[in-house]
Structure 1
Amino acid sequence: MIVEQIYTGCLAEAAYYIESDGEAAIIDPLRETKPYIDRASEGGAVVKYVFETHFHADFVSGHLDLAAKTGATIVFGPTAQPGYEACVARDGEEFTLGKVKIRVLHTPGHTMESSTFLLLDETGKETAIFTGDTLFIGDVGRPDLAVKTDLTREDLAGYLYDSLQSKIMILPDKVIVYPGHGAGSACGKNMSTETTDTLGNQKRFNYALRAQSKEAFVEEVTAGLMPPPQYFPKNAVMNRLGYGNLDEVMQQGTQSLSPAAFEAAANATNALILDVREAQLFAKGFIPNSINIGLEGQFAGWVGTLIPDLKQPILLVVPEGKEEEAVLRLARVGYDNCIGYLNGGFTAWQTAGWEVDKIQSITAETFATLFEQNPNLPVLDVRRKSEYDSEHIVGVENLPLDSINENMARIDKDTTYYVHCAGGYRSMVAISILKARGFTNLIDVAGGFSAIKQTNKLPLTNYVCPSTLL
């Protein structure tokens, strides 16, 4: 028996490959199918099942394409209502995979169809659980992502408590926990950087499993939940009803366009120009009105947070050799309408003599000197509210990047703002969005708050300023 975790850091997502006696199962695959098919081929195995723990909200799963290419059966837990052919299993139903079995444990709470898959080895011993978003290492799934339900998050948290107590906590301590996500995912709030553990350790150290009552559990799990990114329910619907073929999405998105063709496509389709280069490289020159979301950061999550329409036509400006990666990472979160990329990148655009724009960027040291001279300097801190509350420059305003579209009207177009985040990634995203909307008086602070703090020049506080833009 082989069990392998296939972890994708940019989404903090874990898929799983299980193989026994020439048969393989994939649990919660990402959109691309090649890694799983190649792995099965490497082991001389046939992919028999694709198990889905629930209708994922934070990414588009690869179950449909994988089943179509391998002939595997898609398996969901009880109450799932997929809009395509799949097996909706009974609670307790077992599926034979070579010499092992996989038992379905219905564990509603994160969503109502959420299920955990219990792996029984060749001797029938309870060996591992694949918990999806029911149980994480150090946390449990947030109870506010279910679609098509009248249940409150408190109701769902109550179901989650019952599921954990009746289905998970009764299992042996030596059972290995394989969760669907790790630290960095928005599907929980307290996940560990570890991506596996024993159930016994989780019983001892996971705050949610140590709750003394259902009431205490509900209160603790629902406390401090931030609203999920706007694309979450849209991805959940795609996973439930179906979606387009990834091969076709990739073929369309990786069309190479000359600068002239790129400009013509932008004008004809009203496409969003998405520049995925590194922030400071973008600042030195970019196509007017393009948005910068760098591939080196939490790219997919920020795209999903900041681009409201999954069907938005997108044209890419991308470093050479990164074209397929950019299109794939867009497709992983449901942005299937990329219509091509700029051949030769920004250099080709510039060489062809087309119009360019720039963003002024200053060092943290220069910024600190300016702030010392004028403590009323207009500054926008675009970190998350929790980061801002933890520590910020005295008197500055907080405009979290994830709510910038809703709060744009509160910014004065005639005022020159100095914009910073934690390290420089998000501030460039924010400035590019604002510039595309007509805000021209924006100056980036390179290196962000971490660099500002190292200057040791400015007064810092964890006091929440009354003028904070929420």
Structure 2
Amino acid sequence: MNIIQFEDKPLAHYSYAIISNDEMAIVDPSRDPKPYYQLAEKHNAKIIAVFETHPHADFVSGHLQIHNETGAKIYVSKLVGANYMHETFDDGDTVKIGEVTCSAINSPGHSPDSITIIAEDAYKNYAMFSGDTLFIGDVGRPDLREKAGNMKAKREELAKSMYHTITHKFNHLPDATLVYPAHGAGSLCGKNMSKDASSTLGKERNENWAFKDLSEDQFVAHILKDQPFIPSYFGFNVDINKDGSENFQLCIAIPTFQFQIVDFFNDGALIVDTRSKADFDTNHIPKSINIIAETEDDKFETWLGSIVKPNEAFYLVIKSIEDRDKILYRIAKIGYEKQLIGLMTLGETNFEGVEVLNFNDFENHQDKYTIIDVRNKSEVEEGKIFQNAIAIPLHQLRDAEVEIPTDKPIVVHCAGGYRSAAGSSIISNITNKVTVFDLSDDVTKFQ
């Protein structure tokens, strides 16, 4: 069997193609189907199946578009209650992809409707596509389905389900079984994932904490402790994926575009500026929020979906026309394209800049400033960088005006500079009483 892994780096998302005898199946596809079509053409394979391990929370899946454009059947658990044309795929169900037999294992824990796909070839080689159930070095978090999806479940219930899944569901599989998860390190669907893109079941049995000899209570306590925050868009994406998303190419063709604007009337909608910190600091539209999207290492999708609420209208500023399609794709990956009113480049028009922090004064007179730490709660618990800092996680900042003193200039910091760019621009928008500075990557001088 031929297995090809695809990686969406900003979302730390893995999807897969299984190819055998000129037939192809796709597991947990990204929203844009083009890479899978290109692969099918390269191998002269017909796409006959799409497997969805569960309704994903952190990205919009392209399963329905692939079905509409190729005729491939979508296989998903009956527990999802999917509102699109599909075949139910649960314990004991099988489907053939060429000479490969794919079977389903109901594996609740991350969600009540999760399945793991087991692929077996004629030589008794096994691969498991574990979705968000089994990660490399971890298991999926159980706290995302209390408010979204057809089957809502409390985190404690799902934590116990995960314990029983890990303890009982995969025991019949050999140690040599290849493990292909839907996410890797950097995803918010787990907390301690390895940077490895795949593993074997034997290695996970030896090294993954979830396979240790723990009681149910010990397992539940461990999995519930210190889970990362839940971005605003997660429940929104679960509901989109349960219904099936609209055509990707048509959706990103909708927003209006203004090239090198000379003025801008702010109608009250949010303005998201995706340019670098340097470009933003030099010139930006008043009341903009700087969520940087320069490279794949920038977690733009995650922070856009954490700062901007589902269905909240916003404008977008990009650096160049060359960035238009790339940025629209990144927005569509989390289903926010319909909220986008329009996008623009600034050209040579001067709007406003940012006042630069006098670093020496701050370093020597920190008591003259209010310091806001926008790192996540778990990071702050590991140790404050400035003992007198007020900790407000970035994703909560827009709703935290009453928590921010305005009797001194404000300095915003994170761990490395990316989040503080967004944080300082947010605070600048919610207060005009004092100057707001971004410590940026100078924070590393204090660590």
Equivalent in the alignment of 2:271? 273
Q: Would you say the 8 A contact 2:369–2:408 is kept in 1?
A: no
2:355 paired residue number: 360
In the TM superposition, residue 78 of structure 1 has moved relative to its aligned partner by 3.7
Bigger mean CA deviation after superposition, 242-251 or 23-32: 242-251
Tell me, yes or no, if structure 1 residue 435 matches structure 2 residue 421.
Answer: no
Q: 2:257 maps to which residue?
A: 256
Matched, 1:321 2:326: no
361 and 87 in structure 1: CA distance in 2 versus 1, 3 angstrom threshold: farther
Task: Supply the distance in 2 between the matched residues of 1:374 and 1:431 (Cα, whole angstroms).
Answer: 17
Distance in 2 (alpha carbons) for counterparts of 1:393 and 1:227: 22
Q: Please say if residues 24 and 49 of structure 1, whose CA atoms lie closer than 8 Å, have aligned partners that are also in contact.
A: yes
In structure 2, the CA distance between the partners of 1:412 and 1:396, relative to structure 1 (3 Å rule), is closer
Partner of 1:464: none
Separation in 2, partners of 1:271, 1:334? 18
CA contact (8 A) 1:276 1:318 kept: yes
Q: CA deviation at 1:386?
A: 2.3
User: Partners in 2 of 1:420 and 1:405 — Cα distance?
Assistant: 16
Per the alignment, residue 332 of structure 1 pairs with 333
Rounded Cα–Cα distance in structure 2 between residues aligned with 1:166 and 1:427: 44
Residue 441 (structure 2) aligns with: 447
Q: Give the letter for the 1:24 counterpart.
A: M
Gaps of 5+ in 1: 454-470
Secondary structure, in 3 states, of the residue corresponding to 1:333? coil
Cα distance in 1 for partners of 2:361, 2:446 equals: 10
Residues 122 and 359 of structure 1, relative CA distance in 2, 3 Å threshold: same
Shift of 1:346: 2.2
| Whole-angstrom distance in 1 between the partners of 2:428 and 2:264 | 19
Q: For residue 418 of structure 2, what is the aligned residue in structure 1?
A: 425
Task: Report the Cα distance in structure 1 between the residues aligned to 2:263 and 2:328, rounded to whole angstroms.
Answer: 16
Return the alpha-carbon distance in structure 1 between the equivalents of residues 220 and 46 of structure 2.
Answer: 42
Q: Confirm whether residue 387 of structure 1 aligns to residue 379 of structure 2.
A: yes
Distance (whole Å) between structure 2 residues aligned to residue 108 and residue 408 of structure 1: 39
Looking at structure 1, the residues matched to 152 and 251 of structure 2 have their Cα atoms a distance apart, in angstroms, of 34
Question: Are 2:292 and 1:300 equivalent residues in the alignment?
Answer: no
Indicate conservation of the 8 Å contact 2:55/2:241, yes or no: yes
> CA shift at 1:258, angstroms?
3.7
Measured in 1, the distance between the counterparts of 2:341 and 2:263 equals 10
Report deviation, 1:211.
Answer: 3.8
Give the distance between the partners of 2:231 and 2:411, measured in 1 at CA.
26
CA distance in 2, matches of 1:215, 1:105: 24
Determine which of 167, 170, 189 is the counterpart of 1:168: 170
Provide Cα deviations, 1:131-150, integer angstroms capped at 9, x if missing partner.
00000001001111123445
Residues 418, 313 of structure 1: alpha-carbon distance in 2 compared, 3 angstrom cutoff: closer
Q: How do residues 180-329 of structure 1 correspond to structure 2 at under 5 angstroms?
A: 180-253=182-255, 255-259=256-260, 263=264, 267=267, 270-295=268-293, 296=295, 297-310=298-311, 312-329=313-330
Change (3 A) 1:62 1:152: same
Change (3 A) 1:436 1:112: same
Aligned counterparts of 2:287 and 2:81: Cα–Cα separation in 1:
42
With normalisation by structure 2, the TM-score equals 0.93
Contact 1:30/1:59, CA 8 A, preserved across alignment: yes
| Residue-by-residue CA offset, 1:96-118 (whole Å, 9 max, x unaligned) | 00111111111111111100000
Given that 1:311 and 1:336 are in contact with CA atoms closer than 8 Å, whether structure 2 keeps it comes out as no
**Per the alignment, do residues 341 and 406 of structure 1 end up closer, same or farther by CA in structure 2, a change over 3 Å counting?**
closer
CA distance in 2, matches of 1:144, 1:386: 16
Q: Secondary structure of the residue that 1:68 maps to in structure 2?
A: helix
Name the structure 2 match of 1:127.
126
- Structure 1 window deviating more from structure 2 (95-104 vs 221-230): it is 221-230
Q: 1:399: how far off? A: 2.0
Task: State the Cα deviation string for residues 65-118 of structure 1 (Å, max 9, x = none).
Answer: 111111111110241211111111231211100111111111111111100000
**Paired amino acid for 1:452:** F
Amino acid of the residue matched to residue 418 of structure 1? V
Gaps of 5+ in 2: none
- Tell me by how many angstroms 1:32 deviates: 0.6
Q: 1:53 and 1:241, CA in 2 relative to 1: closer, same or farther beyond 3 A?
A: same
Q: Equivalent residue for 2:408? A: 415
1:399-419 CA distances to partner (integer Å, 9 max, x unpaired)? 221221232221134531111
How high is the sequence identity, in percent, across the aligned residues? 34
Structure 1 segment 396-415 matched on structure 2, within 5 A: 396-415=389-408
Counterpart-to-counterpart distance in 1, 2:79 and 2:402: 43
CA change 1:248–1:316 in 2 (3 A) is: farther
Question: Which amino acid letter does the alignment assign opposite residue 426 of structure 2?
Answer: I
SS of residue matched to 2:331: helix
- Give the match for residue 370 of structure 1: 362
Amino acid at match of 2:142: P
Question: CA deviation digits over 1:252-281, x for unaligned, max 9?
Answer: 13x4314559836x54xx543221111122
> Could you tell me which residue of structure 2 aligns to residue 158 of structure 1?
160
In structure 2, how many angstroms separate the alpha carbons of the residues matched to 1:209 and 1:261?
60
- Separation of aligned partners in 2, 1:117 and 1:237: 22
